[in-house]
Each structure stands twice: as C-alpha cells, then as structure tokens.
Structure 1
Amino acid sequence: MKKMLFLSAILTINTALFAQEIIELPFNKNSNVVWEGQAKSYYSDIWQTDVVTNVSVPTMEVFKPEKPNGMSVIIAPGGGLYALSIKNEGTAVAKWLNEKGITAFVLKYRLVPTREDGVKEITDESTTNPQKIAERITPVLPLSIADGLSAIAYVRTNTTKWNIDPQKIGFMGFSAGGAVTMGVVYNYNSTNRPNFIVPVYPWTTAMPVQEAPADAPPMLVICATDDPLGLAAGSVELYSSWLKAEKNAGLHMYSKGGHGFGMKQQGLPSDNWIERFYNWSEIEITNKDLSPVKM
C-alpha cells in the first residue's frame, strides 16, 4: 500500500513538473456565433493526428525553454477553422522552438461551432457542399483574428514574466492559422503589432492578399508548389505584396510537400522548413532592432 502511495506521489509530481501553463485570453463575445458544449480534443482517424474542435473560448498554452533567448513565437495551428491540428502544427512546433531558446505559445483560437467530429464535418462538406464551408467560416474568422491580436497584446504585457523581448514577438500560422496570421497583420495597432510573421501555406482564399501595411513587419512565407489546395499562387502573391512595398520578406517554396506538412517527416525537402525558419530568424530577428518604424 505504501509503495502504491509513493508511486502515486511520484506520478503527481512528474505531472506537475511537465504541465504547461494555460492562459485564457480576453475576448469579446459575438451573439452571431453560438457554440454548444465544450471544446473537444481527440485523435482524428481522418487526418491521422491529434486535433481540437469546437473552441469557443480562446486560450494559449505556454512552452518555456530552459534558456530563453528573448525571442517568442505565437503559433496558430491550421484546420480549416473547423479544427486545430494541435500537435503537428502546434505543440510539436513549440517544443522544437524551445530547443533553440525560443519561448512559444500555442494558440487555440475560436473555431466554427461543430458537434462530435469537426474534422468529419469539414471533410463531408468539402465533398458535398463546399459553399457551406465558406458560409460557416465567414462570421468566425474575424473572431479568430481578434484572438490572435489578443494573444500578441497579452504576451507583450507580460514579457518580463517570461524573459521575452517585447520587440521580438512573432506570429506563425499554418493554413487557416495562416489566414489568422494575415488577418492579424492587416488589423494590428501599436499594442498588438507582431514584430515578425511566418505564414505557412496560408489560406489566402479565406483571407485574400492585401497591400502590405506601411510599417509591415518582416515576413517569411513557406509553402509547397504541389499544395493540393492551390495555395502556392497565393503565397507568391503575398510575398510579392511585401516586395512591392519594399518590405523585408522571404519565401521558401518547396517543389513537393503537399498541404499540412507541419512537423511531419515525409522524406522531402519541406521536412526541414523549420530549420530554414530558424536560419532566417538568426539573420533577420535575433540581432536586429525590430521596433516599429515611425511613419
């Protein structure tokens, strides 16, 4: 009996040691979108990965490195605004960044209200009624973007707590999270401006490319030419908009990689995209003053 109690105590201590801090972000409710029940976390057989669906309250999970270098990245996983690919485009990314000294925050932004399986809903609708997807995401995307802006403001207000440089807060988003990233960069103010952005195969059909802001932050766009959703062209257009405005921009377009590669290892050049991001960040972020330019 004593041995069992001892083992239980050890497990409790270990769980506490490895538990991540969860932060509920400030947000304004919207009566036009109604959720039923709580957010759901499960393994999706359809996508073959861990997902979260039906998010109605935005939160961030904090991943702290042993030796923070001052840089931080807010990560917005993708999933068509019906789900979040929470491991492949979220926690796995955060843990990799931690190894490089980068503090990471995995954002669970508000999603389309779904029932038991949001992944099945978007999969079925993409085949039978694609227009319905557009109708369902339209009122939700502005809320997701607001959550992204709220995340940046929260991190910047608490930089001392996490040993973060307030002028080196980045925002990285995948697919639908890439649409959130672009929504953030088209709508920020002085308190919630990201210091750099990394749209990864951004969903530019949901968030069309616009003119780069006058004080646009450095941007690195990542995509694959063979993206089956046709997002390569939008990624090039996005890069070109920064180039036209003479802003700091980079583009890594892989010949193969498909869509949703995230942290998957497929035996393709796209497997190393995050290392290329880190190389870029060392040159463009680590040793530079990223304070907004006075316009």
Structure 2
Amino acid sequence: MKKLLILLLTGCLTPSPAYAQKQSTNTEIELWPGVMPDAGGARGPEINNKGSITQVSKPRLIAHVPEHPNGIAMLVISGGGYAHIETGKESSPAAEWLKAEGVTAFELIYRLPQEGWKTRLVPFEDAQRAMRIIRSQAKLYHIDPHKIGVLGFSAGGHLAGITATLPDKVFYPPVDDVDATPSKPDFAALIYPVISMLPPNDNTHSHKSILGKEPSLEQETAFSVERQVKTGMGPVFLAQAADDPVASVENSLLMFAALKKETVLSEMHIFQAGGHGWGMGKPGSAVSSWPQLFKKWLECNGILNN
C-alpha cells in the first residue's frame, strides 16, 4: 500500500548537590530527594509485564547517554492511557534511537493517577520535575540548556503537551534548589498524542484516568492541550495515523490549528494508515518514517546541526 503523507509546515546551570554524581549510560535518577509531593500511593513492588509498567512507587529518569553527545537532550514519555507505561514499545526504543543519534535521552517512569496518590495530577508533577532535573544537570551531561525537548507517545503525548504548554503552572511546591530551574521544553514531539479532553474527544482512557467519570467542562478545558497553546512556546512536531482507533486524528488536527493560530512553528505528518501504538514503527511501514522526518525537522529548526 502506498503511503499518503500530508505535510503541514509553518517555518522551517550548575548541578544541584543532590544530583552532582555523574550518571553512567542507562542509569537511573530518582526524581524526588525525600518525600515526594502528594505521596501515599503505590507501595507494593513495581510490576513490569514485558515492558508495561504499573505500581510505580519510585518515579525516576533512565538516562540513555551517547558516547559523543551532540548537546541535545530529550525527555521521553511512554503512553498507556495513564493506566500503565508502555516502555517496551515506546520510550525505551525511542530513547535508544536518540542515543544512537547523539541525543542524551531521559526516559520518564512516572506515577500513575489511579494508584492511590493524593491527587490524580502526579504525572504532571513528575514530568515538570524531570524537565528541571535535566536542565539543572545540563553541564554534567554536556547538554545545551536551550536544546532540551520532550517527546511523548499517546497519553505520554498528552503529558508532554501539558509540560510544553504550561511550564509556569505550579503543579507542586518547591522541594529543593532544582525547582528554581525553568521547566519549559525548548521543543516538543507528539506522536499519536491524546490532546483534547473535550467532546467529542472525551472517550479516551486518558480522560477517565486524569479527570474521573464526571468532570466539569472547566476541568476538561484545563487539561485539553490545544486550549493551552500560547505564542512563544517552542516549536512542535506532530505525527499520527488517519485511522487511529484510540486517539482520533482530530487530536493532532486540533493541536496544529491551535499552534498555527498562535504562530508557533509546527509541522504535522498524517499517515493514511498505521493505527495506534506503533512506537518507532514496524520496519518498512509508512509510520516508521517518522523518526527520520523528526530528525530533518530538528535540522530545519536549527536544533540539530549536521
């Protein structure tokens, strides 16, 4: 089957003492030095069922460090409807690909909202904290502090989108000096993302996990990424399949329209077929071209210099 591709294009610190120890390749960095905000959730052993993670009691980053860093860093976030974290299909292979390209990738293992925490907003606390940790350790990891992006898949795309559009929102009270570090991503890539929580796109598992059974219109609006887009945010790359049965392609279309309205540099690729949850994409499939399209987009925006 031939690929139908729609391309829309507009425009082509000092480390904290708590994190001063250099991490070796693919090692872990705990997000919180002591008691984490809104604690009291998952207490049992973490469950990892073939790369699908639940019962996260220790939110953390997994650092994938290239031998020759090119100065770019990315926070990489798997989806799973905010009910589990699909590292095996999404963030782990994506982080390894980025590492091979010279990008320092930080894979996020975040708390899940329905595992007993004091608020359903714990994923947003963890993602915002993760961005601050990465930027606070820029010198340590040979990262340009102005070239730190976020990449998210599905529900992870929603989490990445909120992180990108609401960097100044106070999701948690400061716990140490790291929290004085800006959390704004310099760019974002959203792959088959959940974007809108508003009707008619309010039937995803992500909607239920974050907002519960009967949220108000105000709550749905507050967590619809397209409603949070503002002039001045970093450029955004979008990729989705037209036949996505989980998160309607309208999610990406709404996001692109919002980005264009606010004159945010953006590029969108809509594939004729591919469904949902393809991660890096099966070799030879149309959707498997997104990593190279993304790489070219980084070059076009002056983020990657080859």
TM-score scaled by length of structure 1: 0.76
Query: With CA pairs under 8 Å and 6+ residues apart, which has the higher RCO, 1 or 2?
Result: 2
> Which residue does the alignment assign to 1:132?
none
Residues 62 and 104 of structure 1 are in contact (CA less than 8 Å); yes or no, is this contact kept in structure 2?
yes
CA distance in 1, matches of 2:152, 2:37: 23
Report the CA distance shift for 1:287/1:85 in structure 2 as closer, same or farther (over 3 A). closer
> Which residue does the alignment assign to 1:272?
289
Report the CA distance shift for 1:285/1:108 in structure 2 as closer, same or farther (over 3 A). farther
> Which residue does the alignment assign to 1:149?
128
> Which residue does the alignment assign to 1:212?
229
> Which residue does the alignment assign to 1:30?
38
Bigger Rg over Cα: 1
Structure 1 unaligned runs (5+)? 1-17, 44-49, 115-135, 289-295
> Which residue does the alignment assign to 1:191?
182
> Which residue does the alignment assign to 1:9?
none
> Which residue does the alignment assign to 1:241?
258
Alignment of 1:49-64 (within 5 A): 50-64=51-65
Report the CA distance shift for 1:182/1:286 in structure 2 as closer, same or farther (over 3 A). closer
SS in 1 for 2:275: coil
TM-aligned CA deviation for residue 287 of structure 1: 5.6
> Which sits farther off after the overlay, 59-68 or 212-221?
212-221
- Whether 1:99 aligns to 2:100 is yes
Q: CA RMSD in A?
A: 2.4
Equivalent AA in structure 2 for residue 245 of structure 1: E
SS in 1 for 2:145: coil
CA distance in 1, matches of 2:236, 2:92: 22
CA distance in 2, matches of 1:22, 1:212: 32
Residues 25 and 63 of structure 2 are in contact (CA less than 8 Å); yes or no, is this contact kept in structure 1?
no
> Which residue does the alignment assign to 1:283?
300
CA distance in 2, matches of 1:221, 1:230: 13
Equivalent AA in structure 2 for residue 154 of structure 1: I
SS in 2 for 1:275: helix
> Which sits farther off after the overlay, 185-194 or 83-92?
185-194
Equivalent AA in structure 2 for residue 66 of structure 1: E
- Whether 1:172 aligns to 2:178 is no
Percent identity over paired residues:
27
CA distance in 2, matches of 1:152, 1:51: 23
Residue deviations 1:201-221, cap 9 Å, x none? 111233422142232110001
CA distance in 1, matches of 2:117, 2:276: 19
Residues 56 and 111 of structure 1 are in contact (CA less than 8 Å); yes or no, is this contact kept in structure 2?
no
Q: How many residues end up aligned between the 2 structures?
A: 243
> Which residue does the alignment assign to 2:49?
42
Residues 172 and 198 of structure 1 are in contact (CA less than 8 Å); yes or no, is this contact kept in structure 2?
yes
CA distance in 2, matches of 1:94, 1:67: 15
Report the CA distance shift for 1:19/1:217 in structure 2 as closer, same or farther (over 3 A). closer
TM-score scaled by length of structure 2: 0.74
> Which residue does the alignment assign to 1:160?
139
